[in-house]
Structure 1
Amino acid sequence: MKKKISIHDIAKALDLSATTISFVLNGKAEEKKISEDVRKRVSDYIKEVGYQPNMIAKSLRTGKTHIIGMLVEDISDPFFSCISRGIETIAYNHKYKIFFASTENDTEKTKALIKVFRERQVDGYIMAPPAGVEEEIRALMDDDIPVILFDRYLPSLNTSTVIIDNFSGSYQAVKHLSENGFSGIAFLTLNSEQTQMHARLQGYLKAIEESGCQPVVQKLPSKLSHELSAEMVQEFIKQHDKIDAIIFATNYLAISGLQAIRDMGLAIPDDIAVIGFDDNTHFNLFTPSITAVAQPIEEIAQEVVRQLLNALSNERESRIRRMVMLPVKLIVRNSTYPKVKKKIVHSEPSTMKIN
């Protein structure tokens, strides 16, 4: 088995000190006034021999791995994948790498992943956590390891958090439907106590109350397959023949709902209007196009990384806890066109900013 090359081997081969080699490898050559010629000799040699630094040893010397652990519900979900991609790009520009993992909203899996990331000595955490991991997150913060939550928060923990105005999103969705002549407005959500889902439901209920309509709420289990979700949406519509509009609390519920409506032979919006929460990248391609509450993906990614980098670079900043709430936008498309007017609208969506 080929022996792993060390800094001392490189120093011996180039007749330089191990300290000089370390300065070059750690990007401190200019600071330590090491000549360009020496830097080039070291760079050329490590490329020639294929030297790979021992990251654990390096982290012990510097106290940093420049790795961030990121835990999301499902990395394949369009919302989380877009957020993750944005965070990865911004972090990379600041010389940080991201380790991703999907929790599937499973408490025990999340605890195990936090343990794995701890063993890898990641510098900080970005999480969209399930309930039940409060103790693990509190332990991280007690050890001065920065933790930024996003999408949802844990009420019993004082953490830095980036969320969106979920209440206003569903509130304005109801108002929009009501103004367009829909009165039997249903809300399909998950059977979940997560803070973002609770806020979306409360926004719906408040707007329904103000509109003088009757609330119609259906909570579906969180871990259903797409096919089973579609079947349950069909059954719900059959049991509530007075509804003429549905707000879906997540984009994947909206996809299941659209399949159910199609399979039932119903027309959107003539038979039933539709609004999705989270603007799926394909909603504008549907026929008709789908109205959606859009989250500010880029702004979320920027704020999450900004808070984490501040905490990593400043010990005092790392002890400050902030909750930042960002506005959402209601993107109006053909799936909620007014009942009183039956004509084709232009394909360009209008955008309503929700403060």
Structure 2
Amino acid sequence: MMKKKLSINDIASQLNVAKSTISFILNGKAKEKRISDELTERVLKYVKEKGYKPNQLAKSLSTGKTKMICLMVEKISDYFFSHIAYHLEELAYKSGYKIIYCSTENDPEKTRELINLFRDRHVDGYIITPPLGIEDDIMELINEEHPVVLFDRYFKSIESDYVVLDNYQGTYNAVAHLAGKNYKHIAFITLQSEQSQMADRESGYNDAMQKYGLPPVFLRVPFENSAITTANDINQFIKTNNQIDSIVFATNYLALSGVKAINDLELQIPKDIGVIAFDDHDIFNVYNPTISAVAQPLEKMASELFRILLDKLENRVPIGQFQQVVIPSELIIRRSII
């Protein structure tokens, strides 16, 4: 026979203490309600011995909090997003929160459905990498006074909390380094995207190329492309633009496809083509030769994201007071550049 789950009524009956008093103690309000330390200790010791687990729904109704945070990213399996998620989960756990992950696949309709789902589940706060087209939904969350922090990209038309990398300067520095090494035909392979982070990376490339008097050469790849299709597109691009002596890839997964394309063409890195990837990846340090990268400080980004969200969740910062954090990147030079 299944053992009956212990309830607050059972605890109150066993200890001969009012149910409301038990509830206040379990919800951390003993001091506020002037409940003695002795009684508080007796109740907490008893529930620990009995392995009592509170009903989270009932607890959320009494406290107004679910202690749940929604992390909504483009693709949770992506190296960048999965590592951010790992650091956020660790920070949240230490502060008594749990994180629910989901992927939007950069689809505004799917994102909208997920926001409505988690709003109905009364999550306490949101960390979102927003696709274009959900500006109104983000504004609605903010107007409803839900704590929301955007990251990786943001909407210039919306005043909001966000944490992003200095994408412009990171790309500018990559091109400047290549130009300083006497590369003359530096290509930029990016996504077909109007998102802020991609636009800033492209602007950094353009301005650096103009600064050094070099002709820009672009390939823009559809986001929905498979890795194989992208590799084939890059292969054709390199064959068509055979003067290219180096490439800056706007994401790490574009770089992975790019390295495959370069190998398929039997070209050598860095002898034939120098390579820098935006977003570092563990595998870049395993490749032969190792791949240079514009690195995002993942732990720092996660720390800033959670700090801003927790300030709102714990009412340390008003909902209408926004914090915008732009974090510098680090250019890591490895053997993919001569």
Q: Counterpart of 1:243? A: 244
Give the Cα separation in 2 of the matches to 1:30 and 1:183. Answer: 69
CA distance in 2, matches of 1:268, 1:151: 30
2:55 aligned residue: 54
SS of 1:65's partner is: coil
Contact 2:22–2:43 (Cα < 8 Å) also in 1:
no
Gaps spanning 5+ residues in structure 1: where? 338-355
Give the conservation status (yes or no) of the 8 Å contact 1:291–1:332. yes
Q: Deviations over 1:251-297 (max 9, x none)?
A: 00000001111111110011111100001111111111101000111
- SS of equivalent to 1:192: coil
State the 1:316 CA deviation: 4.8
Q: Which amino acid is 1:133 matched to?
A: I
SS at match of 1:53: coil
Q: Equivalent of 1:37, from 34, 42, 48?
A: 42
Partner secondary structure for residue 241 of structure 1: coil
Counterpart in the other structure of 2:197: 196
Q: Distance in 2 between matches of 1:41 and 1:232?
A: 65
Contact 2:191 2:223 in 1 (8 A): yes
What's the C-alpha RMSD, in Å, of the aligned pairs?
1.7
Q: For residue 193 of structure 1, report the CA deviation from its aligned partner.
A: 0.3
Does the 8 Å CA contact 1:58/1:65 hold for their aligned counterparts? Answer: yes
Which residue matches 1:81?
82
Structure 2 counterpart SS, 1:227:
helix
Counterpart amino acid of residue 48 in structure 2: S
State the distance in 2 between where 1:315 and 1:276 align.
39
Distance apart, 1:39 and its partner CA: 2.6
2:153 maps to a residue whose letter is R
Q: Tell me what 1:27 maps to.
A: 28
| Equivalent residue runs for 1:1-355 within 5 Å | 5-29=6-30, 32-35=35-38, 36-45=41-50, 47=51, 51-314=52-315, 316-337=317-338
Code of the residue aligned with 1:37 in structure 2: it is R
How far residue 8 of structure 1 moved from its aligned partner, in angstroms, is: 1.6
CA distance in 1, matches of 2:10, 2:140: 40
User: How far did residue 4 of structure 1 move?
Assistant: 5.7
Q: How many Å apart are 1:58 and its aligned residue? A: 1.2
Q: Are the equivalent residues in 2 in contact too, given 1:246–1:272 (CA < 8 A)? A: yes
- Aligned residue for 2:331, secondary structure, equals strand
Where do 5+ consecutive residues of structure 2 fail to align? none
**Shift in Å, 1:111:** 0.6
Give the secondary structure class of the aligned counterpart of 2:13: helix
Change beyond 3 A, Cα 1:270–1:160:
same
Number of aligned residue pairs = 333
CA distance in 2, matches of 1:253, 1:220: 9
- Say whether the 8 Å CA contact 1:123–1:146 is kept in structure 2: yes
Overall identity of the aligned pairs, in %: 49
Give the aligned residue type for 2:146. Answer: I
Q: Distance in 1 between matches of 2:21 and 2:49?
A: 15
Contact kept, 8 Å, 1:312 with 1:318, in 2: the verdict is no
Alpha-carbon distance in 2 for matches of 1:56, 1:269: 58
Contact 1:161 1:322 in 2 (8 A): yes
Equivalents in 2 of 1:316, 1:172: separation in Å?
35
Residue type of the alignment partner of 1:320: Q
Secondary structure of the structure 2 residue equivalent to 1:231: helix
User: Per-residue deviation at 1:98?
Assistant: 0.8
Work out whether residues 29 and 39 of structure 1, in 8 Å CA contact, stay in contact via their aligned partners in 2. Answer: no
Cα distance in 2 for partners of 1:206, 1:41 equals 66
TM-score normalised by structure 2 residue count: 0.94
